[in-house]
Amino acid sequence: MDIWMTWCTRVSKCKHCSNDIVSGTPMVMGKLWRKHSTGVTPPSVMRFPLVFRWHPQCWVDQGILSLKDYAEVHRDRHRPRLLLTDEQRLVRKRLIGRWRTYRFRMRVAMESNDMDYLRKLVENMRQVALEIEQVGGMPKKWAEML
Ligand SMILES: [Zn+2]
């Protein structure tokens, strides 16, 4: 949905509280494009906009309301976000990147049966696993590899 703020130029109804939005006051507008197929041959698709209007505060209120639903749904489905600083998050991301690189090289090394190189890679992966303990801990999947 496109959202923008503008001056209300004629009295309109607020989508949230159903009260009038007075002409000359700020309002939030939203436009949502919908597709509608016309049964004509060849079939064509008509696009038409749905337009919404809100009081500025009403738009914030309904946004926060729908955000609460969203948080409710996702709290149980996803594991909680790790409590890390941005800096720690970056370190963690880099460690995960290193792990993936080693895992990829491992697959290549397995094909060529290079045991020395494989041992070295496992060593490196153990090192990465140690370092990631400082920034949120090791992902569960990694344990199978070590
Ligand atoms: Zn309103």
Give me the DSSP letters along 50-66: EEEEE-HHHHHHHHHHH
pTM > 0.85: no
- Are 7 and 47 members of one domain? yes
Query: Domain limits at 114?
Result: 86-145
- Cα 69 to ligand 1 centre (Å): 20
Interior CA angle at 118 toward 112 and 120, to 5°?
140
- Cα 16 to ligand 1 centre (Å): 5
Exposure of 9 by Cβ count < 10 A (0-12 exposed, 13-18 middle, 19+ buried)?
exposed
- Cα 61 to ligand 1 centre (Å): 9
Convert the pLDDT of each residue in 84-125 to its tens digit: 888 999 999 999 999 999 999 998 888 888 899 999 999 999
Overall domain count for the chain? 2
Convert the pLDDT of each residue in 124-146 to its tens digit: 999 999 999 999 888 888 887 77
Closest alpha carbon to 124 in 100, 144, 91, 141: 100
- Are 99 and 135 members of one domain? yes
Convert the pLDDT of each residue in 16-67 to its tens digit: 999 999 999 999 999 998 877 766 666 677 788 899 999 999 999 998 888 8
Interior CA angle at 1 toward 57 and 10, to 5°?
55
- Are 9 and 71 members of one domain? yes
- Cα 51 to ligand 1 centre (Å): 15
Q: What is the pLDDT of residue 40?
A: 67
